[in-house]
Structure 1
Amino acid sequence: MPVRSAWLINRTETESGQTRADTRLAPLGTMAPNGALTGAGGVIPGSVDGEHLMSGLYVFGESAGMKVTVTPGRAVIQGQGAAGAYPVVLTDYATLTLDDGNASHDRIDLVVLRVHDAQFDVGDRTEASLEVIKGEASATLEQPQVPPASLPLARITVPAGASVGTGGIVWADAVYDLRVPTVAVGGILPESWNRDVAGGYPGQYRDSSAALQRWDGTRWASYPRQTGGIAPQGALAAGEYTGQYRDEAGRLERWDGAVWRPAVPSTAWANHTDGGYCTSTSWVESVTDTTGPTITATFTVPVTGAVLVTVGFMGHTGVDGQWCRMGVNIRKDGVLVYGADEVRSATVGSKAMTSVSATSRLTGLQPGAVYTAVSAYTTSATSNRGWFDNRFIRVDPLV
């Protein structure tokens, strides 16, 4: 089998150890560390013309039967403890044969690239090899344990009764790629199919195919998630720290520690064009003889805690010398914060149809909180029917 390893067998007069070609072909240098004396094993990425992430050591089956093929490639395999990391190369296509399937149950086999070193393990072999680790046939499928100093390349499900005589294995459904890439220390790890592979040290980087990510000691964090960055749409359901920002369908939002709030609150607007009248001498939130008695504008308070509230309508009184007013009640979570009053109201004092509006500055509101502005109406006497038409509420954030 064309499997070679550098720094494994000493070349002597009686033993053919590492050759010059082995040295040239095998990966050299310090690979990405994951411990003081250990490195992250994996396949060296790359392919002809750069079309694929890694074409080396790919496991596939081409025809009916029980044989799999492994493509040429290079890898680094971390040995046991002080044994160090072994650079290994497969210089030609290699074929492995799987045992026939169990009569009753499926099983899972592993294809691994393995290093045997008699100096560090209990065996008497000193060589690198491709091997099939046969799993146990069972009603509950379990992957066999990966041997020490081994790099798993593929997981293969062997159906019950599979053999050359029964048509073998359906390769398109049976093989699951287990290869992970590795690069030299300081290099950027390419995308891996096994995304749960942890980083080796804080400050290590990898390419997730969508973003550059940094290992922070506990997880891979994409650049848009770093402090001060803006997370792209769909990246975060919940924020990771108070003050983080995200893009939500073109709108910038800020995480307040519990929920996402608009980073720059927009103007809130509510109106109704159907008229009605009021005969109450105290503030009420509805008018009579209209399809839309109440107007409600929901708004988010900016960081200043201040907003401009404008109310307006077109109307008239029913009696000369009397008046009617439209104001607004401000509530948070259903609790009245600012009640309607004459200072912040739009007032009409004539039987002639008149358009009026009034703007007030409200302060002391909770930044980032959601409030509602609800229309309110009153008139100077119960005998005075005040008419209100084209009513509106507008709330502008003061930033």
Structure 2
Amino acid sequence: MPVRSAWLINRTETETGQSRADTRLAPVGTMAPAGALTTASGVLPGSVAGEDLMSALYVFGESAGMNVTVAPGRAVIQGQGPAGAYPVVLTDHTTLTLDDGNATNPRIDLVVLRVRDAQFDGGDRTEATLEIVKGEASATPTPPQTPPASLPLARITVPAGASVGTGGIVWDDAVYDLRVPTVGIGGILAESWSRDVPGGYPGQYRDTSSALQRWDGTRWATYPREVGGIAPQGALAAGEYPGQYRDEAGALQRWDGTVWRPAVPSTAWAYNNDGGSCASTSWVEAVDGTNGPTISASFTVPVTGAVLVTVGFMGHTGVDGQWCRMGVNIRKDGALVVPADEVRSATVGSKAMTSVAMTFRVTGLKRGAEYTAVSAYVSSAASNTGWFDNRYIRVDPLV
């Protein structure tokens, strides 16, 4: 069998072991660690012209029957206990034969690349081999346990009654690829067919074919997210730390620790062109006799903690010499934060229809928080019914 391994015993006339050619062919060197004294087993990625992730040690069947073929390739297999890691190479296409299927139930077999080392495993063989590990037939079969110092390459479902005489195995449906890649320490790990393969150390990177990810000690985190970059559309439902940014349908958002907020707050606007009246001598948040008596504009506070608020309406007083005003109450989670005031209001002082507006600055708001500017109205006297039409509120962030 054309399976060779480095770091076994020297080859002699009486014992198989490592030759100079084995050393040249096998992937010697420090590979990706899985612990202080262990190495991550895996196949070395690569293919002719770089078109595929891994062509090495690919398991496939070509014709009806029970024979399966393993393509040439290189791998690293972690040995048992203190044995270390073995560089292994398969130099030629190699055929293995599966046992016939059980008469009643299917089973699952494993194709493995295995290292046996009598010095460490207590056996009587010292060699690297390709093997089929036969599973148990069952109505709901499960794969057999992977032997020690082995690298699983594929699992094969063997149908009940399968044999050369019955047409063998339908290979397109029977073979499930189990290969995982491994690279030298510090190298970027190739994807593992979207399997959940843990990293070996914080700071290790892998390429999923669509994103670069970093192992943080517990999970693979997409690289832009981990270093403070902008997470792509659909990547995050919840943020991972306050100050993280994401692209949400073309709008930049910032995670405040609880919810996503607009990273660059936009102007808030509320408007109603249905007129209404107010004769209250204290501030109220609605006018009478109209649809939508209250208008409100929700806004996110920028990093400066300051906004410009503009209120305006077209209206008139009910009595000459009296006045009526429109202002805003600024609320946070329903609580009044900045009350309406005459110095922060638009005022009409005539029975003639007049358009008025007022802009004022509000500071000291909590940056990144959401507030609501709610319309508020007041009249100079109960006998003076003011008229308010075309009412609007506009809030502009000061950045």
1:108 CA displacement: 2.0
SS of alignment partner, residue 148 of structure 1: coil
Q: Which residue of 2 aligns with 1:313?
A: 313
Deviations 1:116-137 (A, max 9, x none): 1122113212221111111222
Could you give the per-residue CA deviations for residues 342-396 of structure 1, whole angstroms, max 9, x where no partner exists?
2211111112221111122223322222111111222233443322222110112
The offset of 1:229, in angstroms, is 2.6
1:295 equivalent in structure 2:
295
CA distance in 1, matches of 2:168, 2:323: 93
1:242 aligned onto 2:279: no
SS of corresponding position for 1:112: strand
User: Is the contact between residue 10 and residue 19 of structure 2 (CA under 8 Å) also seen in structure 1?
Assistant: no
Q: Please state whether the residue corresponding to 2:189 is helix, strand or coil.
A: coil
Corresponding residue of 2:183? 183
**Distance in structure 2 (CA, Å) of the matches to 1:177 and 1:274:** 68
**Comparing 26-35 with 15-24, which one deviates more in the overlay?**
15-24
> Could you say which residue in structure 2 is the equivalent of 1:394?
394
Does the aligned pair in 2 maintain the 1:227–1:244 contact within 8 Å? no
Task: Answer yes or no: is the 8 Å Cα contact 1:57–1:153 preserved in 2.
Answer: yes
Instruction: Give the aligned partner of residue 349 of structure 1.
Output: 349
1:140-179 mapped onto 2 (5 Å cutoff): 140-179=140-179
Corresponding residue number in structure 2 for 1:367: 367
- Tell me the residue number matched to 1:51: 51
CA offsets 1:184-214 (integer angstroms, 9 cap, x no match): 2222211222542222223322222222222
Report if aligned partners of 2:17, 2:127 keep a CA contact under 8 Å in 1: no
Distance 2:72 2:37 in 1: 28
Within 5 Å, give how 1:1-399 maps onto structure 2.
1-399=1-399
Q: State the 1:293 CA deviation.
A: 1.9
CA offsets per residue over residues 241-296 of structure 1, 9 Å max, x none?
22222222232222222222222222111112232222333323222343332211
Distance 1:70 1:239 in 2: 45
SS at 1:32 equivalent: coil
Residues 298 and 372, structure 2, Cα contact 8 Å, conserved in 1: yes
1:86-112 residue CA offsets vs partner (Å, 9 max, x unmatched)? 111111111222223334433222110
Partner SS for 2:118: coil
TM-fit CA distance, 1:73: 0.8
- Letter paired with 1:350: S
Shift of 1:140: 4.1
Matching residue's letter, 1:378: V
**Could you report, residue by residue, the CA deviation over 1:160-204 in whole angstroms, capped at 9, with x for unpaired residues?**
333334443332232221111111222221122254222222332
SS in 1 for 2:22: helix
- Quote the offset at 1:16 in angstroms: 5.0
Judged with a 3 Å threshold, the aligned counterparts in structure 2 of structure 1 residues 227 and 24 are, in CA distance, closer, same or farther, namely closer
CA contact (8 A) 1:64 1:167 kept: yes
State, as a whole percentage, how many aligned pairs show the same letter.
83
For 2:82, give the aligned amino acid: A
* Stretches of 4+ aligned residues off by more than 4 angstroms: none
Give the stretch that moved more between structures: 78-87 or 301-310: 301-310
TM-score scaled by length of structure 2: 0.93
Task: Give SS of 1:360's match.
Answer: strand
1:255 counterpart letter in structure 2: W
Deviation at residue 335 of structure 1 after TM alignment: 2.0
| Aligned partners of 2:16 and 2:126 also within 8 Å | no
Residue 193 to residue 285, structure 1, CA distance change in 2 (3 Å): same
Between the aligned partners of 1:70 and 1:213, the Cα distance in structure 2 is 31
RMSD value, Cα: 2.1
Measured at CA, do residues 159 and 201 of structure 1 come closer, stay the same or move farther in structure 2, by a change above 3 Å?
same
Unmatched tracts of structure 2, length 5 or more? none
* 1:306–1:119 CA distance, 2 compared to 1 (3 A): same
Q: Scaled by the length of structure 1, what TM-score is found?
A: 0.93
**Count of aligned positions:** 399
User: For structure 1, which segment, 306-315 or 289-298, has the greater mean C-alpha deviation from structure 2 after superposition?
Assistant: 289-298
Deviation for aligned residue 1:49: 0.6
Paired AA for residue 148 in structure 2: P
Write the deviation string for residues 300-343 of structure 1: whole angstroms up to 9, x where unpaired.
12233322211101112232222221111222222222232322
Letter in 2 for 1:119: Q
Distance 2:238 2:190 in 1: 27
Q: 2:283 is aligned with what amino acid?
A: W
Q: Secondary structure at the match of 1:309?
A: strand
- Aligned to 1:22, the other structure's residue is in SS state helix
Residue 120 of structure 1 aligns to a residue whose secondary structure is helix
In 2, Cα distance between the equivalents of 1:298 and 1:382? 31
CA contact (8 A) 2:16 2:127 kept: no
Question: Does structure 1 conserve the Cα–Cα contact (< 8 Å) formed by 2:59 and 2:154?
Answer: yes
1:178·1:194 contact (CA, 8 Å) conserved in 2? Answer: no
